[in-house]
Amino acid sequence: AQTVTQSQPEMSVQEAETVTLSCTYDTSENNYYLFWYKQPPSRQMILVIRQEAYKQQNATENRFSVNFQKAAKSFSLKISDSQLGDTAMYFCAFMSSNTGNQFYFGTGTSLTVIP
């Protein structure tokens, strides 16, 4: 079974600064996808960024980027130039390419951006 671990329950960052959220996972599979989802206080989960395991290049989406270390099974999210609207719960998620019918989520990191 796949497991996803987020070891930082809460984090805070000053507006305009950079913050990194950590995620590790455990799997015996070689082909999979990793995701970061954001859940603002309004509750709707929104995709932030995704990474295919077969791609060595780290994914980037504007101010969001990942550091994907496949051998270490690590998938951290870096948020640059933090904005007040980045305040939310952030969930790391794993999906197998073989089955793909379910996502495995971590317990989340609550990020607060301080003005």
Partner 1 sequence: DAGVTQSPTHLIKTRGQHVTLRCSPISGHKSVSWYQQVLGQGPQFIFQYYEKEERGRGNFPDRFSARQFPNYSSELNVNALLLGDSALYLCATRTGPNTGELFFGEGSRLTVL
- Contacting positions for partner 1 (CB under 8 A): 4, 6, 35, 37, 42-47, 50, 91, 93, 97, 99-108
Least Å from the CB of residue 45 to partner 1 = 4
Alpha-carbon radius of gyration of the chain:
14
Nearer to partner 1, 62 or 115 (CB): 62
Nearer to partner 1, 14 or 97 (CB): 97
Least Å from the CB of residue 4 to partner 1 = 8
Least Å from the CB of residue 43 to partner 1 = 5
Nearer to partner 1, 69 or 102 (CB): 102
Strand 103-105 and strand 88-96: pairing?
antiparallel
SS3 assignment for 61-104: ECCEEEEEECCCCEEEEEECCCCHHHCEEEEEEEEECCCCCCEE
Tell me the C-alpha distance between 25 and 104, whole Å. 10
